Chain A
Amino acid sequence: MSEFVLIMPEIFLALTLAFIVVGEVTHYGEQVRLITLTSLVGLAGAFVQTIILYKYGAIQIFGGVLSIDGFALFFKLLFILLAALTIGSVSHTQEITEGRRTEYCALVLAATLAMCLLASAADLILIFLSFLFLNVVSYFLAAYGRRSVLSTEAAVKALVFGSVASALFLYASAILFATTHSLNIYEIHKYLASSSLSAPVLMTTFMLSFLALCTQMGAFPMYLFLPDVLEGSPTPVSGFLSVGSRAAGFAIAIRFLMVVFAQPGNIRGQWQPLGQLDWTEIVSGVSALTMVVGSLLAFRQKSAKRLIGYLVVAETGFLLMGLPVLDELGIAAILYNLIIDVFALVGSFYVISFFYDELQSDRLESLQGMLKRAVAESVCLVMFLLCLVGSPPMPGFLGKFILVGVAVRHQRPVLALFGIFAMVVSTAAVARLAYQLMGRFQESSQKPLVVNFSRRTFLMVLVVPMALLGIFADLVFKWVGQSLGFILW
């Protein structure tokens, strides 16, 4: 019985989801506002439940299928927060009409449930199932702008890439199960540590699973669909997917790679690759390529959402820098950056969504002169994006500093150089967007946009925590460090 206490957040999410679906069926079209409120209350409940779980420490439940530890709890808090922000922003957008808001809330809740399961999954089957669950919900979310061609295209691309990734992961799982006769990743680790597999088999397994994870994170060879999805989806959905599905990818990538393919090293807080396979070189190569390709392509874009999409790809490359160093600091830096991303990306897409509603376009040239028409929004957009690319005064810079620093400390100066180069290029890409916002400031005579109070408040809800993350960075680092301490390796 006590094991159910430990999955209370998931149970809460599932109940809220069921409640909303029932409410939608029985009271169709009435009291839409109540639905948003119900979802927010449900999320708040799940959030509190997750915080309570911290006192139970690290524990495996249901015969090792789920691992409830600080790492999982961190990601659950992150996902629930993200879902709350996404649902909170929906009442401000015209891309999702009032009548369809209920379905939207239900889908976001379902995706959150999938991500939370993914965060604590320690069993190959459960990982695969939550992968599929998340992906299926993502197709629906991406295709939500039904009338738009781009949205349909986005959903189809996500579907194709998602199926390929699932297949790859399934093959990797099959090889692992066939050789180790176990589905639990910790058991698999014990087996692999005691009797090592032959290098080609290990290599194949690693590559298959890593490519699947790359799809989820949006890393180099498999990033191609991500900007399309972020461009095509309704804008609030882009904000949700750009952080959520990537963070879920990172959650599972860190747990899976560090548990299955690495073992604790001689120094506390550091690991070394398992057996003969030095996969860290592959990961750092992918990281370097992802950030360079992402930032260079971002520089050439003509649509704001697509530009941010490529910046997101570059960001994935950055975060991947923390993985191959096999160091607690690197992973802590990934987690810190993910928290920053939540505010920076949801914020950017929130402002873009506002502009999109007004202009019916997110082309860079149509954004011209927005600085004069909506000062606070434009300034915040630039701040969010600068924070994303890690420009100095923003908290994102602290995150980038730690990532690059960890790479230097572990004798990967070339990777660090690529990182710094990508930072410069992405800043230039943001500068292009910012220039369009400025437009012909002095001559423009278009009238300013009307911004209501609740919009401004929501913007503050995003900006203030972002600033606080920088000012109280020490507390955040402590929390992040604790989240790592709990993991069952």
Chain B
Amino acid sequence: MSHHLISLTILFPLLGTLFQSISSPARSRWIALVASFAASGCAILLVLSMQTQTADLQAVETFPWVGSYAISYDMAIDGLNALLVLLIAILFPVLIASEWNQKSGVRGLHGLFLILQTALFGAVCAQDLFLQFFFWGLSALPFYFLVGIWGGVGREKASFRCIVASSLGNSFIFAALILIYYSVDPHSFSLRDLSGGVLSGKVFDFLGHSLPISGVAFSLLSAGLALRAPIWPFQGWFTEVAQEAPSSVFVALAAGTVPVALYIFVKVCYLLFPQSLSYASNYIMAVGTVNLVMGGICAASQKGLRRLQAFVCLSEVGLILMGIGSLSSTGVVGAVYQQLILGLSLAGFGLFSGVISERTGHAIFLNQKGEKTLGGLATIAPSMSIVAGIVVASLLGFPGFSGFVGHALIIIGSYSIHPLSVVIAASALLLASFYLFTMYRCVFLGKPAENFEVFQDLTLREQACVFPIVCGLLFFGLYPKPLIELIRPTVLTLLSTVK
């Protein structure tokens, strides 16, 4: 089956970047949007054309790129990455549309979003480690400019910390890659050749000590990804970006790159290091729990929407890590599913908080004295408060909303293996309902704050932006079956190698 949909998905945004960069600003917006939509259309077609009940790679496209170093252009889709393809397909047209009226440098902003879309699609679909790292590295650069140019007052420090964290993370992954590449004979980057414990038992010599390759490469890779996804205590740059970046950029970071980082962790670690993974599963679980709890505690003390969403992301990442570390099929299916939901709900959160801070000039809902600075938006802006309600309910995992499926699967999957951490996690989730409801109460309920009577509800364009996200959140919550069926066979195959 060769319909080249994956290549088209990757190519369209790049072509869009080229064309929009040479056209006038008024026209460039449309070009960007059309390119992004075209890519998303291909991606959605791709997911719809997938066969369920199989763990095989589908829509494979492969040809050698750098033959002398066994690097190939190898793209495919399976149950593990299908959901992320869907997520990116939903996310980026929305982001481009949400920055429609950007005053300065609209072409640059849209161009960077398009490059990001290409990079994330590529990183998700690549079945060759080098190719994956290539796209993953590409996805780091746009953020530097997105934060540095369109960020708030503290953008210099934020963008600098962002680029340092990501280049440090990339260098760790780079080291892991070289170790992996030279440890197998013939040297290879193909995930297929490397899978199935080829690396286990191999050692390399470092300053007179012989170290196991799979353990070292696993640690390097995890550290490298932890610097790109927010893992406590390395989340400083992330919260700073959340504070300074425009909300669309933060959405691209939290809802785009973070799930992709988690995906790469699952994909590469389950395929390449099954032994190290089963050895480290307790640590992953512990890191996940700590992340969940610390994210919750920090979020509870926030008084602004921007940092709050960063810490919500942190604690959701913790939950997904627990699912990954549980090594049970239910938990891992839940974790993979929750990656999509994390992306969608954070996108929704980011968009409505972006609208609020655009209208009021700030995103702080409680001032230093604990008095409300916003409030009563439910009567003034009903459609916005409905959207926010759905997002909050989904983040909390209310039955009927999509978060419920993911949360439930992760909790059920982990409980039989690590009851203690699940108990801790459950209390952290209770804490989440405290801080998210506090936020909702302060922003939307009660009497409108003084000096705050004129507030426009979501415009038609903004409603169109949040529409796909809200639809996704509701639909995947009420009817998760097709997606779960898509994920399950792949996850079971992956797990069979670990045990």
Contact = CB atoms under 8 A, between A and B. Distances in A.
Interface stretch (A251-259, A263-271, A274-282, A410-418): A410-418
B182 A474 contact: no
A428 B178 contact: no
A409 B175 contact: no
Given A411-B205, A438-B148, A393 B138 contact: yes
Given A392-B137, A423-B174, A473-B66, 12 more contacts: A371-B149, A393-B134, A393-B137, A413-B207, A420-B175, A423-B171, A424-B164, A428-B167, A431-B160, A431-B163, A442-B105, A478-B68
Interface in A430-460: 431-432, 434-435, 438, 441-442
Contacts of B104: 372, 441-442
Interface in A291-317: none
Q: What 7 A-B pairs have minimum CB-CB distances, sorted nearest first?
A: A392-B137, A393-B138, A441-B149, A427-B167, A431-B163, A473-B66, A477-B68
A149 B119 CA distance: 47
A405 B178 contact: yes
Interface string A358-370: 0000000000000
A362 B135 CA distance: 33
Contacts of A371: 149
A129 interface: no
B66 A474 contact: yes
Contact of B171 (A386, A424, A438): A424
12 contacts: A372-B105, A402-B69, A405-B178, A405-B181, A408-B179, A413-B205, A413-B206, A421-B171, A428-B163, A428-B167, A435-B156, A441-B104
A423 B149 CA distance: 24
A416 B170 CA distance: 15
Interface string A382-402: 000010000111000110011
Contacts of A474: 64-68
B133 A481 contact: no
A401 B160 contact: no
B455 interface: no
Interface string B152-165: 00001001100110
A402 B137 CA distance: 17
B136 A416 contact: no
Interface string B101-115: 001110010000000
B120 interface: no
Given A393-B137, A434-B144, A427 B163 contact: yes
Interface in A456-484: 473-474, 477-478, 481
Contacts of A393: 119, 134-135, 137-138, 141
A417 B206 CA distance: 11
A420 B205 contact: no
Interface string B81-124: 00000000000000000000001110010000000000100000
Nearest to B183: A408
B479 interface: no
B437 interface: no
Interface in B196-226: 204-207
B260 to A, nearest CB: 15
Nearest to A372: B105
A431 B207 CA distance: 33
B159 A435 contact: yes
A352 B124 CA distance: 37
B398 interface: no
A414 B208 CA distance: 12
A346 interface: no
A375 interface: yes
Interface residues of A, number: 38
A391 B167 contact: yes
A468 to B, nearest CB: 13
Contact of B133 (A392, A431, A438, A442): A392
Interface string B165-197: 001101100110111011000000000000000
B30 interface: no
B415 interface: no
A402 to B, nearest CB: 7
Nearest to A332: B68
Contact of A420 (B105, B138, B141, B171): B171
Contacts of B206: 413
Most chain B CB neighbours (cut-off 10 Å) among A391, A393, A413, A477: A393
Contacts of B136: 392
B77 interface: no
Contacts of A409: 182
B160 A435 contact: yes
A411 B177 CA distance: 16
Contacts of B134: 392-393, 397
A55 B150 CA distance: 56
A226 interface: no
Contact of A435 (B140, B148, B182): B148
Nearest to B149: A441
B66 A397 contact: no
Most chain B CB neighbours (cut-off 10 Å) among A402, A416, A424: A424
A427 B119 CA distance: 19
Most chain A CB neighbours (cut-off 10 Å) among B104, B119, B178, B179: B178
A431 to B, nearest CB: 5
A229 interface: no
B150 A442 contact: yes
B158 to A, nearest CB: 11
A475 to B, nearest CB: 10
Contact of B175 (A386, A416, A434): A416
A386 B182 contact: no
Contact of B178 (A401, A421, A442): A401
Nearest to A425: B167
B401 to A, nearest CB: 38
B171 A416 contact: no
A481 B149 CA distance: 43
Contacts of B119: 393
A404 B174 CA distance: 10
Nearest to B68: A477
B317 to A, nearest CB: 23
Given A435-B160, A474-B66, A474-B67, A416 B137 contact: no
A397 B137 contact: yes
Given A474-B65, A478-B68, A438 B182 contact: no
Contacts of A421: 171
B163 A438 contact: no
A405 B175 contact: no
Contacts of B177: 401
Contacts of A411: 205
A409 B145 CA distance: 36
A20 B104 CA distance: 50
Contacts of A413: 204-207
Contacts of A401: 130, 174, 177-178
Contacts of B164: 424, 428, 431
B67 to A, nearest CB: 5
Contacts of B108: 375
A408 B171 CA distance: 15
Given A413-B206, A441-B104, A424 B144 contact: no
A371 to B, nearest CB: 7
Given A427-B163, A474-B66, A477-B68, A438 B140 contact: no
B138 A481 contact: no
A408 B182 contact: yes
Given A386-B141, A392-B136, A438-B145, A405 B160 contact: no
Contacts of A434: 144-145, 148
Nearest to A405: B178
B167 A424 contact: yes
A391 B150 contact: no
Nearest to A430: B163
A11 B111 CA distance: 49
B178 A404 contact: yes
A481 B175 CA distance: 25
A478 B68 CA distance: 8
B43 to A, nearest CB: 21
